[in-house]
Chain A
Amino acid sequence: MTVVYHLWLREVKRYLRSRPQIIGSIAQPLLYLLVLGFGLGPVFAQSGQGSYLQFIAPGVVGMAILFTSVFSGIGLLWDRQFGFLKETLVAPVPRLQIMLGRTLGGATIASIQGALILLVCIVAGFRPYSFAAVPLALVFMLLVGLVFAGLGTAIGSTLKDMQGFQLIMNFLVMPIFFLSGALFPLNNLPTALTFATRADPLSYGVDGLRGALIGVTQFGIATNLSVLAVVAAGFVVLGAWAFSRIQI
Chain B
Amino acid sequence: MIHVENLVKTFGEVKAVDGISFHVPAGEIFAFLGPNGAGKTTTIQMLTTLLRPSSGTMKLDGLDPVAQPLQARSRFGIVFQDPSLDVELTAYENMDLHGALYHVPKKTRIERIETLLTLFELWDRRRSFVKTFSGGMRRRLEIARGLLHTPKILFLDEPTLGLDPQSRNQLWTHVKHLNETEGVTVFLTTHYMDEAERTAHRIGIIDHGHIVAQGTAQGLKEQTGADSLEGAFLALTGSTIRDERADAADQMRQMAKMWRR
- A interface residue numbers (CB < 8 A to B): 2-3, 6-7, 10, 13-14, 17-18, 77, 79-84, 86-94, 160-162, 247-248
Contacts and interface: CB of A to CB of B under 8 A. Distances in A.
Chain B interface residue count: which class? Answer: 35 or more
A53 to B, nearest CB: 36
B100 A83 contact: no
Contacts of A6: 97, 100-101
Given A84-B84, A248-B45, A89 B50 contact: yes
Nearest to A77: B252
Contact of B88 (A18, A80, A90): A18
A82 B101 contact: no
Given A91-B73, A92-B102, A162-B255, A86 B84 contact: yes
Interface of B: 45, 48-52, 70-71, 73-74, 76, 78, 80, 82-89, 93, 97-98, 100-103, 248-249, 251-253, 255-256
Contacts of B255: 161-162
Contact of B101 (A3, A18, A77): A3
6 contacts: A10-B86, A14-B88, A82-B83, A82-B84, A83-B83, A86-B50
A87 B84 contact: yes
A175 B249 CA distance: 29
B89 A91 contact: no
A91 B101 CA distance: 6
A86 B80 contact: yes
A244 to B, nearest CB: 9
A91 B72 CA distance: 10
B103 A13 contact: no
Given A6-B100, A10-B89, A248-B51, A162 B252 contact: yes
Contacts of A162: 252, 255
